[in-house]
Amino acid sequence: MPRLALSEDFVADLISLQKPVQKEVNDAIQMFRSMTVPQLHASKGMHLEKLTGARDPRIRTIRVTKFYRGVLLAPDDGSELFTLLRVAPHDEAINWACKRVYSVNGATGGLEVRNVDALEQMETYFETKAVTTPARLFEEHSDTVLRDLGIDDQVLRLARVCVTADDLSVMAPPMMPADQYEVLEFLAAKYSAQEVWEQLIAPRGQTVRSAEDRPTVTLSEAILNTPNRIVEVTGPGELERILSEDLTRWRIFLHPAQRRYAYHPGFNGPAQVTGGPGTGKTVVALHRVRHLLRTGREGERILLTTFTNAMAAALRDNLALLLGDADAHLLDQVEVTTVDSLAARVVREARGSSLKPLSSPAEKSAWTRAIAREDLPWTERFLSQEFRNVVLAQGLRTPEEYLRCVRRGRGTQVGRVQRARLWRVMERFTTDLASRDSATYTQLCDQAAGILAESGPRYRHVVVDEAQDLHPAQWRVLRACVAPQSDDIFIVGDPHQRIYDSRVSLRSLGINVRGRTSRLRINYRSTEEILRWSASLLDGQPVGRLGEDDDDDGGRDSLRGYRSQLHGRVPVARGYASQDEELRALVEQIRTWIEQDGVKPSEVAVCARFNTLVDAVITRLRRERIPAVAVKDDPGPDVSGVRVATMHAMKGLEFRCVAVVGVTSSVLPFAPQVTPAEVDSVQHQADLLAEHCLLFVACTRARDALAISWSGERSRMLDPVAG
Ligand SMILES: Nc1ncnc2c1ncn2[C@@H]1O[C@H](COP(=O)(O)OP(=O)(O)OP(=O)(O)O)[C@@H](O)[C@H]1O
C-alpha cells in the first residue's frame, strides 16, 4: 500500500476550498490509499500522470475532480511514500508543478522546494546588476562555510551576487528553499556562522559539521525529517483529523524553533520561550501542554494561565481543538485560568468567603482615606506604587522588613522616619480594606501565595502565557502551585509587550530558566511591512529581558532577526484637523476594507487609548450603518461587526485590518499615567516605556493592513515612523 504525506501548501489549499470540493479531495485520498502502487499506476480514475516539461522528474498529477488536480511527489528511493504537494484548478496545478524542484537540504536533512525557473531568472538579473559592485553581502563567508550550513550550488551562486539584504529578500520563499533562505537571512543580519549553526542546524539533530562527511539522506527520510512542513497520514482517523473543518495550520506545522521547545522530551527545571508579537508563543504553549498531557502520568494536573478571562476562554477553545477527539479525555486534567482568578479562589477556599477585588477608582479612594487628615508629601499614586512595587512585590510583612528592604525599581530615596510613616499609611489602607472584605488583586495574590506555600503544590506542571505582565506576587502563586522539579514551569512571553508596571527577577523567586531559554523570530501574523513599521516605534527604547529586573545583569532584549515572510501594504499614518474629520476618514477606510478588499467586518478592529473614543467610534460607525461591537462586551465569533476596543483590551488578539485612532500628544503618552521624572526617575522611565509598548501592542495586532490616525497634535511616539 502506498504511504501518504501532506505538505503545508496542500493543507493551505485544502482549507481554502469549498466544502463539497474538500469532500471530493477526501474521497480521492481514500481511494489513493486503498490501492496498491501498481493499481495506482494503472488506475484510469486516478489518472496518475507524469508531466511533460516538469523540472522535477518525480512530480506527478492526479485527478481529484473534473476541474481540480492534485500534485504529488512520487518516491524514487524504493519506498512507497508519496507526498501531496498542492491541490488546485487544473491549469494552476500544472503551471505550479512544472516549475518546482524538490531537494534534500544538506545540513538539516529536510525536504525543501524551490521555484527553479524564477531562481534562474534571478541569477541572470543579479549577475548583471552586481557587476559594478565589488562588495558582496556574504563575502566574509567562504563557500565551505556556506555549504556546511546547507547552502547548495544554485543558492550559493545566488548568494554570491547579492549585494544588499534587499537583494536577498526578493528571492524569499516560496522562490528560494526556506531552510537555506533562513540561514542566509541570519547571516545577512550579522549572526556568525557559529550562531547560525547553533540556532538553526544543531536543533534539527545534525551533529556532523562538515557537509562532506554527512551521509546521504533518502527522499523518504527527508520527508520524515520535515515535520514543520509535511505530515504523514498514519492511522485511519488521522486523515479525518487533518481534514476536519476546524483545520488550522498551527495545529500541524510548527517551525523547528517552535517544535524544539514544545516537544522537548524534558526540561530539568523551568524553561522559557520569548519572541516578538505573532511569533507563535501561545501556539508553543498549547503544544507544550499537549506534549505534557500525552507523556505524563494519568491524573497529573496542569495549570495553563494567561492574562485575561477572555484570553483564558480562547486558550481553552484552542487547546480543545489541538487535542481533537483522540485526546479530548485529557482536557479534564488542564485548568485554564488567570492567575488572579486562581488566587481569588485559593483565598476564598481558605477563608470560607470571598474578598471583593478592588477597582482602580475604589483603590484610589481607599488611599485618599488612608492619608486623610495627614500632611503627607506623597500622592495616592506614589503610595499605591510603593505598596504594589515594594511591599507586595517583596512580600514584606512587618515594619522592620520594610525598614530594611532595598526598594528595587524605585528611584526616590526614602529614609527611616519616612518609611515608618509610609508603613503606617499602608497599614491603615489594608485594615480599611479588610474591614470592607475587600482587597486589591495584587493583595489577593500575595495572600494566595502564602496559603499555597503552606498547603503545598496542586499541579504537576504550570504553563504560563503572556508572562511579561505578571507581578512578583503572581509569580509567587505560580511557584507555590508546583514543586520544583523537571518540567515544573514553562513560560512564554514578550518583554516588548509589557504594558503593566511589573518588573520581576524570576531567579530571586525560585524560577531559574538559565540554560533553558529560546527565542522565536518568525512572525506568522503580520506582514513584514507592518512588522518593520511597528518595531521602529520601539527604536532606542530600553526593553529589559523577560524575568530579569535591573538586579540581574540588567541586559536588554531586542527584536534582532525578527521578521515575517508575508508581504503587503505599508501602514498609513495620517493626521486630521478635527476628531470629526478623523472619524469620517475612519469610516471611509473601513468601507474600503470591507467593500473593496472583501474583509469581513468582524476581521476589522479599531482601537483607541480610552473608552470615551471607543464609544464615539462605535456610535459613529453605527450611524454610518457599519455594524460595530465593543470587545469588552465579549462578542462571540459568530457576532458580526467591526471590533472596537481600548489598546489594553487588544492584548493577545489579532485582526486582518486594524485602525488605531486618536494617537495624539495628549493621550500617548498619557501624562497622568507617567510618574514625573522629578518624583521618581526610575518609575518615570518604566511608565514611559509601558506607553510605547502599548502602542506597539495595538499596531502588532494587524495581519494585513494597519492605519494610524490622530487629530490635532500628533503623538511624539510616532516620530520614528511618521517623519
Ligand atoms: N507554525 C505556525 N504555522 C502557521 N501559523 C502559525 C504558526 N505559529 C503561529 N501561527 C499563527 O500566528 C499567529 C500568532 O500566533 P500566537 O498568537 O501564538 O503568537 P504570539 O507570539 O503568542 O503573539 P502575541 O505575543 O502577539 O500575542 C496566530 O494566527 C497563529 O495561528
Ordered by start, the domain boundaries in the chain are 3-103+226-232, 107-216, 247-347+449-524, 359-439, 569-721
Q: Whose Cα sits closest to atom 7 in ligand 1?
A: 250
Q: What is the pLDDT of residues 543-552, one digit of tens each?
A: 878 877 655 5
Distance 273 CA to ligand 1 centre (A): 13
Residue range 24-35: mean pLDDT, rounded? 85
Distance 504 CA to ligand 1 centre (A): 25
- Match domain 247-347+449-524 to its CATH number in 2.40.10.10, 3.30.360.10, 3.40.50.300, 3.90.1280.10: 3.40.50.300
Buried/exposed code over 458-484 (b: 16+ C-beta within 10 A; e: otherwise): bbbbbbbbbbbbbbbbbbbbbbbbbee
Is residue 488 within 8 A of residue 277, CB to CB? The reply is no
- According to the annotation, is 275 in a ligand binding site? yes
- Taking residue 211's Cβ as centre, other Cβ atoms within 10 Å add up to 17
pLDDT more than 90, % of the chain: 57
Q: Work out whether strand 230-233 and strand 489-493 pair parallel, antiparallel, or are unpaired.
A: unpaired
Q: Identify any residues that bridge with 714 across adjacent strands, giving them in sequence order.
A: 664
Pocket probe for ligand 1: among 525, 559, 564, 566, the residue whose CB has the most ligand atoms within 8 Å is 525
| Residue with more model confidence, 310 or 554 | 310
Buried/exposed code over 334-364 (b: 16+ C-beta within 10 A; e: otherwise): bbbbbbbbbbbebbeeeeeeebebbeeeebe
Q: Whose Cα sits closest to atom 24 in ligand 1?
A: 277
Residues 6+ apart with CB under 8 A from 538: 496, 559, 692, 693, 696
- According to the annotation, is 45 in a ligand binding site? no
Q: How confident is the model at residue 87 (pLDDT cuts 50, 70, 90)?
A: very high
DSSP 8-state code for residue 389:
I
Q: Rounded to whole angstroms, how far apart are CA atoms 524 and 536?
A: 19
- According to the annotation, is 277 in a ligand binding site? yes
Q: What is the pLDDT of residues 428-476, one digit of tens each?
A: 999 999 999 999 999 999 999 999 999 999 999 999 999 999 999 999 9
DSSP 8-state code for residue 358:
P
pLDDT of residue 344: 95
Distance 704 CA to ligand 1 centre (A): 14
- According to the annotation, is 276 in a ligand binding site? yes
Residue type, 494: D
Q: How confident is the model at residue 245 (pLDDT cuts 50, 70, 90)?
A: very low
The CATH code for residues 3-103+226-232 is 3.30.2310.20
Within a 13 Å sphere around the CA of 718, how many CA atoms are in the beta-carbon half?
24
- Taking residue 158's Cβ as centre, other Cβ atoms within 10 Å add up to 23
Q: Whose Cα sits closest to atom 18 in ligand 1?
A: 280
- According to the annotation, is 281 in a ligand binding site? yes
Q: What is the pLDDT of residues 482-532, one digit of tens each?
A: 999 999 999 999 988 988 877 788 888 899 998 898 889 889 999 999 999
Residue keyed to cell 506582514: 527
- According to the annotation, is 269 in a ligand binding site? no
Distance 301 CA to ligand 1 centre (A): 25
Residues 6+ apart with CB under 8 A from 323: 290, 293, 330, 331
| Cα dihedral 349/353/358/362 (nearest 10) | -170
Q: Rounded to whole angstroms, how far apart are CA atoms 144 and 464?
A: 42
Strands (E), 334-458: 334-338, 356-357, 438-439
pLDDT of residue 498: 86
- Among the listed ranges 146-150, 251-255, 360-364, 570-574, which one has the minimum average pLDDT value? 251-255
Is residue 543 within 8 A of residue 556, CB to CB? The reply is yes
| Residue with more model confidence, 321 or 146 | 146
Q: What is the pLDDT of residues 305-316, one digit of tens each?
A: 999 888 899 899
- Among the listed ranges 283-297, 361-375, 527-541, which one has the minimum average pLDDT value? 361-375
Residue range 46-64: mean pLDDT, rounded? 90
Ligand 1 pocket, CB under 6 A: 249-250, 253-255, 258, 275, 277-283, 494, 497, 524-525, 652, 654, 700
- Among the listed ranges 60-69, 136-145, 230-239, 455-464, which one has the minimum average pLDDT value? 230-239
Pocket probe for ligand 1: among 283, 321, 700, the residue whose CB has the most ligand atoms within 8 Å is 283
Reported ipTM: 0.99
DSSP 8-state code for residue 459:
B
Q: Whose Cα sits closest to atom 31 in ligand 1?
A: 250
Q: Which CATH superfamily is domain 569-721 in?
A: P-loop containing nucleotide triphosphate hydrolases (3.40.50.300)
pLDDT of residue 554: 58
Residue range 663-668: mean pLDDT, rounded? 94
569-721 and 247-347+449-524 share a CATH fold: yes
Distance 2 CA to ligand 1 centre (A): 34
Q: Rounded to whole angstroms, how far apart are CA atoms 544 and 551?
A: 11
Residue range 236-244: mean pLDDT, rounded? 65
Residue type, 245: E
Residue range 24-52: mean pLDDT, rounded? 85
pLDDT of residue 239: 66
Q: How does the average pLDDT of the chain come out, rounded?
A: 90
